[in-house]
Amino acid sequence: MIMLRDVHKRFGSQTVLDGVNLDVQEGETLALLGPSGTGKSVLLKHIIGLIRPDSGTVVVDDEHVGKLKRKQLAALRSRIGYVFQNGALFDSMNVLENVRLGITDGDKYRNDEYATQRVAECLKLVNLAPEVVAKFPAELSGGMRKRVGIARAIAGSPKYLLYDEPTSGLDPVNADVIDSLVKRLDNELGVTSVMVTHDVRGAFRTADRLALLTGGKIVQQGSQEEFLKSRNPKVQEFLERDFPDATFAA
């Protein structure tokens, strides 16, 4: 379980997170919605310990992320797969080496036979042809880079998957492919997922639960139905463009 309590974060004079409270239950897929630049990615990076909060607590599997020592943090990260917005693939490595780095168990990582087989499995899961292993990131399209990023994130068989804007910058067809992929992976692998996005329709297609981050706070979290019935003007404003026919509760 992932739990954030009263998390505050400032960068210089800019307050990004202003008392965030959020729970992610085991096995569910939570979509974290919000306008661009509201700190969704910052919040996601708190969960994996890439950013530490100024105050408040981030707890993953009963471990306080901010208080973990180097090795403990590495162990926690090996249970979390993180899909970066632009893939964040290593330029100097081909797809095989990139995905292989996702195998977090040291012995398995060094076992060539296992690693090659695992990379092939992961690429198959994200609908990429086996021939792609020899290509370098610069030779891949945006959609393929995202899928390789997802393959790398699942290579270590993580318990949690964190997606940072998995469909941003993609055309609608490719965005739908990624959304379906996220949904399928969540079902097939049984992972707990948090997906940061500002694509409301995609979030409704893939997530069990939604949360809206705006003004540094989670202003609403709940099921899709609860969102559609919400009286919160910020929720209504955010959903209006994608669901113009929705009848928000008066």
Partner 1 sequence: MDAQTLDLRRFVGRWTLNALSHVGRISLLMLDAIRSLSEWRVWFPRTMTEAWNIGVGSLFIVLLISGFAGAVTALQARYQFTGTIPIYFLAGVVVESIVLELGPVLTGLVLAGRIGARYAAELGTMRVTEQIDALESLGRSPGSHLIVPRVLAGFIMIPVLVILADVMGIFAGWFSMTMVLPISNEDFTYGARSFWRPFDATYSVIKAFFFAGSITIVACYMGFNTQQGAEGVGRATTGAVVSSSVLILLLDVLLANLLLST
Long-range contacts of 179-186 (CB under 8 A, 24+ apart): 179/205, 179/206, 180/205, 181/126, 181/127, 181/147, 181/150, 182/29, 182/150, 182/206, 183/29, 185/125, 185/126, 185/150, 185/154, 185/161, 186/29, 186/161
What's the min distance (Å) between Cβ of 26 and partner 1? 21
Lay out the sheet containing 192-197: strands in order across: 80-83, 160-164, 192-197, 29-33, 209-214, 217-222
- For partner 1, which residue of 50, 68, 120, 219 counts as binding (CB under 8 A)? 50
For the chain, the C-alpha Rg in angstroms (whole number) is 18
Closer to partner 1 by Cβ: residue 31 or 89: 89
- Residue 86 lies near partner 1 (rule: CB under 8 A): yes
**Which phi and psi angles does 197 have, rounded to 5°?**
-160, 160
Spatial separation of the C-alpha atoms in residues 31 and 25, rounded to whole Å: 12
Q: Is there a contact between 203 and 171 (Cβ–Cβ < 8 Å)? A: no
What's the min distance (Å) between Cβ of 75 and partner 1? 7
> Hey, which residues between 90 and 119 contact partner 1 (CB under 8 A)?
90-91, 101-102, 104, 110
- Residue 45 lies near partner 1 (rule: CB under 8 A): yes
**Which phi and psi angles does 193 have, rounded to 5°?**
-125, 145
- For partner 1, which residue of 74, 117, 121, 240 counts as binding (CB under 8 A)? 74
- For partner 1, which residue of 82, 204, 227, 238 counts as binding (CB under 8 A)? 82
- Residue 80 lies near partner 1 (rule: CB under 8 A): yes
- Residue 58 lies near partner 1 (rule: CB under 8 A): no
- Residue 219 lies near partner 1 (rule: CB under 8 A): no
What's the min distance (Å) between Cβ of 180 and partner 1? 24
- Residue 52 lies near partner 1 (rule: CB under 8 A): no
What's the min distance (Å) between Cβ of 163 and partner 1? 12
Please give the residue ranges that form the binding site for partner 1 (CB under 8 A).
45, 48, 50, 70, 73-78, 80, 82, 84-86, 88-91, 101-102, 104, 110, 152, 156
